[in-house]
Structure 1
């Protein structure tokens, strides 16, 4: 952590001005600390890495508008909020799965279920086609084939952090893309 307050103020100012070295200094200094906060709360390495990587990406993207007093405090609070958002998103997804399971049990038409499953599969495939090829590959290996980040990194000759970047990118996109699909599906179901 930065000990000298003046040094931290200078680094934050440099970051706001787009200095990549200042960003790297912050990244190297705080990455592990931020990762451990997420990991302790979630207990899942890949998700903690994903949330940590996403936080630093947001830090760089919004660097000009950010005015934190202490970067360490800002990153700690931000990662805690990201963890809460992730948990809440999981709760929503679980509610949807529970709803769908009860709907599937009540449905007397197996054909309808097959059509809906095919529609969802098609929506996932269409969404994947909108991603870069490498990101598609990482997503498929991780989410469809259930490979670990380490195994994907070895298989594709990438670093684990690069695999984490691709996973973050693909999951963020697919959440948005499929959310729109699910809203249309639910609207059609209730009408």
Structure 2
């Protein structure tokens, strides 16, 4: 295909040309990766971010415009990074709450606190019961055992990306369940 302009790439991608899409990927993926890695500080999250951006480009190819493709890609990445960082902070907050709940032992003399603790723990277990067995196991290994993505992947003999996906889906479900049933923000 030789060196063609971004505008020509956009036109070909809109027409469903996979070779043009590969050319676009080859042209910009490294720049997007280094940007993502600088802010996310994690190789795997940065790779996922780049993959997500290019999946969105392909899925929205019919709506692509020929003006400033590079600017559009970097704006998408910026928004994706902001969302990812926001989700990480939210996930960290939920993780801290789960650690507190799993490590606390209710005192017998404080009946009201024990009741609340038991109700909260019951809600957590109800939320976990609704997860797939894989999501639940990954969630428990990361939150209750404190294992990293790589350690979970090694123990379960799956890829780190599989662990991240299962943890993301499980955490999202549990977080939404607790927001709905336990009024936890």
TM-score, length-scaled by structure 1: 0.66
Contact kept in structure 1, 2:120 and 2:182, CA below 8 Å = no
Number of aligned residue pairs: 165
Distance 1:24 1:39 in 2: 22
1:16–1:66 CA contact under 8 A, matched in 2? yes
- In structure 2, relative to structure 1, the CA distance for the partners of 1:94 and 1:167 (3 Å cut) is closer
8 Å contact kept, 2:50–2:77: yes
Say which is worse superposed, 9-18 or 71-80, in terms of deviation: 71-80
1:123–1:181 Cα contact (<8 Å) kept: no
1:39 is aligned, of 37, 40, 58, to: 37
* Superposition pairs of residues 161-172 of structure 1, within 5 angstroms: 164=161, 166=162, 170=166
CA contact (8 A) 1:127 1:177 kept: no
| C-alpha deviation, 1:177, in angstroms | 3.7
**Structure 2 residue 35 is matched with structure 1 residue 28:** no
The 5 A counterparts of 1:1-191 are 7-67=5-65, 69-97=67-95, 107-109=113-115, 111-125=118-132, 128=135, 140=138, 144=142, 146-148=148-150, 164=161, 166=162, 170=166, 173-174=169-170, 177-187=173-183
Counterpart-to-counterpart distance in 1, 2:58 and 2:165: 15
Question: Aligned partners of 2:68, 2:163: CA distance in 1, in Å?
Answer: 29
- Tell me how far apart the structure 2 counterparts of residues 92 and 68 of structure 1 sit (CA, whole Å): 36
CA distance in 1, matches of 2:62, 2:167: 26
Tell me: CA distance 1:49–1:10, structure 2 relative to 1, closer, same or farther (3 Å). same
Whether the aligned pair in 1 keeps the contact of 2:138 and 2:167 (CA below 8 Å) is no
Pick 1 or 2: higher relative contact order, CA cutoff 8 A, min separation 6: 1
Measure the CA separation in 1 of the matches of 2:56 and 2:75.
14
Runs of 4+ in 1 over 4 A off after TM superposition: 95-106, 126-129, 166-176
Deviation, 1:44, is 1.0
